[in-house]
Amino acid sequence: MKKMKIKTSVILLMGLLLMSGIPATAQQTVTLSLKQAREIAAERAFTVRQSDADVETARQQVKELTATGLPQVNASVGYNDNIGLPVQLVPGDFFGQPGQDIEVQFGTKYSGNAGLSVNQLIFSGSYLVGLQAARTFLAKSEEERKKSVVDIKKTVSEAYFLVLATQEGIRILDSTLAITEKLAGETRIIYENGLTEETEYDQLQLMVSELQVNRANALNQLSVARSFLKYHLGLPGNSEVILTQTMGELIDEMAPAALLDRSFTPGGNIDFRILKKQQELAYLDLRRQKSLYLPSVSAFLNYQTQAQRAEWDFFDPLGKWYSSSVWGINMNIPIFSSGERMAKVRQARVQVEKTHIAEEQVGSSLRIQHENAGSELRNALLTYGTTKQNRELSGKIYLRTSIKFQEGMAGSLDLMNAHNQYLNSQSQYISASLNVLNRSVAMESLLENPE
Average pLDDT for residues 104-126, to the nearest whole number? 89
Top-confidence residue, 410 or 371: 371
* pLDDT at residue 27, rounded to an integer: 64
Query: Which SS3 state, helix, strand or coil, does residue 242 take?
Result: strand
- Residue partners of 180: CB distance under 8 A and separation at least 6: 204, 207, 208, 211, 419
pLDDT at 368 over 60: yes
Query: Which SS3 state, helix, strand or coil, does residue 118 take?
Result: strand
Confidence of residue 450 (pLDDT cuts 50, 70, 90): confident
pLDDT at 20 over 70: no
* pLDDT at residue 86, rounded to an integer: 80
The answer to whether the CB of 371 falls within 8 A of the CB of 443 is: no
Top-confidence residue, 403 or 157: 157
* pLDDT at residue 273, rounded to an integer: 95
For 64-76, what is each residue's pLDDT tens digit?
A: 999 999 999 999 9
The answer to whether the CB of 386 falls within 8 A of the CB of 309 is: no
Partners of residue 89 on adjacent β-strands: 103
Please check whether residue 151 lies inside any domain of the structure: yes
pTM higher than 0.85 = no
pLDDT at 105 over 80: no
* pLDDT at residue 281, rounded to an integer: 96
What's the DSSP call for residue 409?
S
* pLDDT at residue 15, rounded to an integer: 38
Top-confidence residue, 25 or 160: 160
CATH code assigned at 148? 1.20.1600.10
N-to-C CA span, the chain? 44
Please check whether residue 95 lies inside any domain of the structure: no
- Cα–Cα dist 209/147, whole Å: 48
- For residue 433, the tally of other CB atoms under 10 A from its CB is 24
pLDDT at 21 over 60: no
Query: Which SS3 state, helix, strand or coil, does residue 195 take?
Result: coil
* pLDDT at residue 1, rounded to an integer: 37
The answer to whether the CB of 405 falls within 8 A of the CB of 414 is: yes
* pLDDT at residue 97, rounded to an integer: 73
Lowest mean per-residue pLDDT among 35-44, 158-167, 189-198, 334-343: 189-198
- Residue partners of 368: CB distance under 8 A and separation at least 6: none
What's the DSSP call for residue 24?
P
* pLDDT at residue 39, rounded to an integer: 94
* pLDDT at residue 8, rounded to an integer: 35
Top-confidence residue, 97 or 286: 286
pLDDT at 7 over 80: no
Q: Nearest to residue 64, comparing CAs of 137, 115, 14?
A: 137
pLDDT at 30 over 80: yes
* Phi and psi, residue 403, nearest 5°: -65, -45
The answer to whether the CB of 82 falls within 8 A of the CB of 111 is: yes
Please give the single-letter amino acid code of residue 32.
L
Query: Which SS3 state, helix, strand or coil, does residue 391 take?
Result: helix
pLDDT at 23 over 50: no
* pLDDT at residue 410, rounded to an integer: 80
Please check whether residue 284 lies inside any domain of the structure: yes
Please check whether residue 190 lies inside any domain of the structure: yes
Lowest mean per-residue pLDDT among 56-70, 176-190, 262-276: 176-190
- Cα–Cα dist 326/329, whole Å: 11
96 Rama sector, left if φ>0, alpha if ψ -120 to 50, beta otherwise = left
Average pLDDT for residues 77-90, to the nearest whole number? 83
Please check whether residue 94 lies inside any domain of the structure: no
* pLDDT at residue 183, rounded to an integer: 79
Count of domains for the chain: 1
Give residue 434's Cα distance to chain centre. 25
For 312-323, what is each residue's pLDDT tens digit?
A: 888 888 788 889
Average pLDDT, the chain: 87
* pLDDT at residue 87, rounded to an integer: 78
Average pLDDT for residues 288-311, to the nearest whole number? 92
Lowest mean per-residue pLDDT among 4-8, 82-86, 314-318: 4-8
For 271-299, what is each residue's pLDDT tens digit?
A: 999 999 999 999 999 999 999 999 999 99
Residue 423 lies in domain: 27-73+123-296+337-447
Confidence of residue 26 (pLDDT cuts 50, 70, 90): low
Confidence of residue 191 (pLDDT cuts 50, 70, 90): confident
Kindly tell me the sign of the dihedral angle through the C-alpha atoms of 313, 314, 317, 322: positive
Please check whether residue 107 lies inside any domain of the structure: no
* pLDDT at residue 9, rounded to an integer: 36
- Cα–Cα dist 421/429, whole Å: 12
* pLDDT at residue 204, rounded to an integer: 80
Burial of 162 from C-beta contacts in 10 A (0-12 / 13-18 / 19+) = buried
pLDDT at 195 over 80: no
Lowest mean per-residue pLDDT among 5-14, 78-87, 136-145, 402-411: 5-14
Helix axes 125-192, 198-233, angle to 10 degrees: 160
Q: Nearest to residue 49, comparing CAs of 193, 115, 148, 191?
A: 148
* pLDDT at residue 33, rounded to an integer: 94
Please check whether residue 103 lies inside any domain of the structure: no
* pLDDT at residue 346, rounded to an integer: 96
Kindly tell me the sign of the dihedral angle through the C-alpha atoms of 261, 266, 270, 273: negative
Give the HSE-up count for residue 434: Cα atoms under 13 Å, Cβ half-sphere. Answer: 21
Please check whether residue 19 lies inside any domain of the structure: no
The answer to whether the CB of 439 falls within 8 A of the CB of 370 is: no
Q: Nearest to residue 222, comparing CAs of 261, 179, 166?
A: 166
Kindly tell me the sign of the dihedral angle through the C-alpha atoms of 181, 182, 187, 190: positive
* Phi and psi, residue 193, nearest 5°: -90, 5
For 230-267, what is each residue's pLDDT tens digit?
A: 999 988 888 899 999 999 999 999 999 999 999 999 99
Average pLDDT for residues 174-187, to the nearest whole number? 84
For 119-137, what is each residue's pLDDT tens digit?
A: 999 999 999 999 999 999 9
pLDDT at 360 over 80: yes
What's the DSSP call for residue 193?
T
